[in-house]
Amino acid sequence: MTGNLLLGGGLTAALAIMAICFAQKIPSARLVKICAGISAGFIVAASLLLWILIFENNFSVEYVASYSSTTLPTIYKISAFWAGQQGSFLLWLLVHAIVGAVLTFRRTSAAALGIYFLLQSILTLLVLAKSPFAEHSAQVFEGVGLNPLLQDFWMAIHPPIIFVGYALLAVPFALSLGSLLTEAKSRTWLEDARKWTLAAWSFLGAGIFVGGYWAYKVLGWGGYWGWDPVENSSLVPWLLAAVLLHLINLARKKSAVLSVAHVAATFTYALVIYGTFLTRSGILGDFSVHSFAGSNIGITIALANALVLIGGLAIIFVKAKELPQGNMYESHGEAAFIVLLSCLLIIFIAAIVWIGMSMPLLSQLFGEAAAVDTDFYVKSTAPIALALAIILIYVFIKFGRMINLGGKIAHVGFLLMLAAIVISARGETVTQEFQPRAKVSIAGHEVIYEGQVFQEDERQKFYVYTVDGEAVKALTKLRGNGEDAAREPAILKNFSGDVYIAPHAPQIENVQELILTKNLFAMDGELGYIFNDAHIDCDEHNQPIQATAAITITDGEVEEVIHPLIIVTPDGGSSKSMEVFGGKRRVRLTGISGDLEKARLEILPTYEKLSSMPITATVSTKPFIWLLWLSVSMIFIGTLTAIKIREKGQGTRDKFFNS
């Protein structure tokens, strides 16, 4: 309840700013600054409250119970904030509110601020519509915890970077509509829009690339980009942001381009909302491993998307006659034509990706939902990307002197990225079975599988390989019941590229299950078992937290008493295996009857036996893959460098607040 009240306070202040700005009754900028500070303060307080609830393990809040647990490491308790749908919206709102407060301290027009805080009000309503502060319908004493796949440093920082990009893209959209509402012919909004678009493009791109590196490093399917609809939902606005950026730069020199710059600003931000709708409405639930489950928030996001797109285009249509007219270029040989042609090619790529990612939605209109495969994207975008690369090389040869330092770094990075994608894709891939300690020659590399190594706490295990004399490990995270939860590949990095080993889950067939009855003797073929007793421990609320059994195991001469236990969790329970008779046998308690008269025990292969089992793995080479990581770093650095460069050709500014 407190969290929702804080969000309500932030919404009220944002609506007040919107009303003041649209009414244009501003005695001074101080009132707007105060309201923006209040709105941001309430939203920051709500965000801090959610973190406090997570760190205090307050499982009476449904969101906390769903994405955190008492055993979750600190870094992942922090990232649990944005692990779910509700929290990620709050993170987006948090960044948006902070940027909004910054805008009020800059020379931003009243109309642009009105648009920006209208967007902030919509975001706040979306957070309230599916609040992260909702109470749990049942009493819970341990949370589910974070998905093991998300328990990785790169995935912990990926969403915040993406949402910084999303929030920053709202600024050029607001500046565009604000200028149209006040003085349509004005181009003075372009310089500020250029800087904010550069920042948004760099952060959104960095977020996409971090997600790609996480997929490469963690998922183990051998690549960094799978053309997944959720991946594409952030790629499309990034591509259009690149178009917007180039049109803004061109519009500052040629007034006739101003109209298409306004259109680009509207479509770029509208596609941010559209991508959010696709990923969070449940439409992609059967087509993407990243998609959120369906919920009633989908229609709310769709309405917000319609408001942004239709509202923005309606304002452009009404003001179209006031916008500058004329030729956008004089000849096909000048720089303006080349820029516009490049933008058109990028738009074609974005349109293809949009069609592909929207196919589950579009196909539903005519029948059963369906998705396109990766070949659709590769075959349709590759020729356009090649044409774009050729044009970019031509631009460097003929117009290189006109590009600033940051632009040079970013564009060289983009060319290098296209080359790295092609080069790294020319590696070899082999899937085969590996016998322990047997040498195998694959793609010019000597690979030896050394076996499995388990951590003592049974939270992780490693598949150990020797590649060209160097040891590498493939990590597998384990669930509480010992089953595989997430597998990461083993990667040997060197100058010529990576050797990438993705082990497959082993097929363990010799798992025996025993149902033990209290005080009765049972055998597994070699050892005898007697279930002696069991008891259940409860908390202060008389809720069970763990069940413990006492079982005697004998080989006919020696007896050993073990006390395996089951920890009660929201999804049932988890238990660890135990070694008996010096590691000659491994057992795990999997169930105890309610009357404590029966117990279920699994007889598992020993660690020694598991280590000696053959394993199937997919080994692939990634030639000069490091060039890809270098290129995306160059794009990010070059774009940030360009922000600080003040270009010529600025006109007078719009009417601003009096400070």
Is 658's pLDDT higher than 60?
no
Q: What is the pLDDT of residue 363?
A: 80
Average pLDDT over residues 653-658: 35
Q: Do the beta carbons of residue 12 and residue 112 sit within 8 Å?
A: no
Q: Do the beta carbons of residue 375 and residue 597 sit within 8 Å?
A: no
User: What is the average pLDDT value for the chain, to the nearest integer?
Assistant: 87
Average pLDDT over residues 516-531: 89
Average pLDDT over residues 282-298: 58
Domain boundaries, the chain: 1-148, 152-330, 429-506+611-623, 512-604
pLDDT band at 7 (very low <50, low <70, confident <90, very high): very high
Q: What is the pLDDT of residue 650?
A: 41
- Which among 37-51, 270-284, 456-470, 581-595 has the top mean pLDDT? 37-51
Is 504's pLDDT higher than 70?
yes
Q: What is the pLDDT of residue 552?
A: 93
Average pLDDT over residues 194-223: 91
Closest C-alpha to 654, from 184, 18, 24: 184
Q: What is the pLDDT of residue 480?
A: 61
Average pLDDT over residues 432-446: 90
447-473 confidence digits (pLDDT tens): 999 988 888 777 888 999 999 999 999
565-576 confidence digits (pLDDT tens): 888 765 567 788
Residues 6+ apart with CB under 8 A from 263: 313, 316
Q: What is the pLDDT of residue 237?
A: 96
Q: What is the pLDDT of residue 285?
A: 57
Q: What is the pLDDT of residue 586?
A: 86
Q: What is the pLDDT of residue 482?
A: 66
Q: What is the pLDDT of residue 299?
A: 84
Tokens of 82: 């944005």
Q: What is the pLDDT of residue 218?
A: 87
Average pLDDT over residues 121-145: 86
Q: What is the pLDDT of residue 302?
A: 87
- With a pLDDT cut of 70, the percent of the chain lying above it is 93
Pick the CATH number of 429-506+611-623 from 3.40.710, 2.60.98, 2.60.40, 2.60.120: 2.60.98
Using the CB atoms, write b or e for 227-236: b if 16+ within 10 Å. Answer: bbbbbbbbbb
68-80 confidence digits (pLDDT tens): 988 888 999 999 9
Q: What is the pLDDT of residue 276?
A: 87
Is 523's pLDDT higher than 80?
yes
Is 652 exposed, middle or buried, given 0-12, 13-18 or 19+ CB atoms closer than 10 A? exposed
583-616 confidence digits (pLDDT tens): 888 888 988 888 889 999 988 888 888 888 899 9
Contacts 24+ apart (CB under 8 A), 489-496: 489/217, 489/220, 489/222, 490/463, 490/465, 491/217, 492/467, 492/468, 493/626, 495/626, 496/623, 496/624
Q: What is the pLDDT of residue 652?
A: 36
Is 454 exposed, middle or buried, given 0-12, 13-18 or 19+ CB atoms closer than 10 A? middle
Average pLDDT over residues 543-567: 88
Q: What is the pLDDT of residue 283?
A: 65
Helix-strand-coil percent breakdown of the chain, rounded to 5?
50, 20, 30
Q: What is the pLDDT of residue 572?
A: 64
pTM: 0.86
Average pLDDT over residues 204-220: 90
Average pLDDT over residues 466-483: 84
Average pLDDT over residues 365-380: 83
Q: What is the pLDDT of residue 635?
A: 93
Average pLDDT over residues 131-140: 83
Q: What is the pLDDT of residue 509?
A: 67
Closest C-alpha to 304, from 282, 283, 274: 274
DSSP 8-state assignment for residue 323: S
pLDDT band at 286 (very low <50, low <70, confident <90, very high): low
Is 651's pLDDT higher than 50?
no
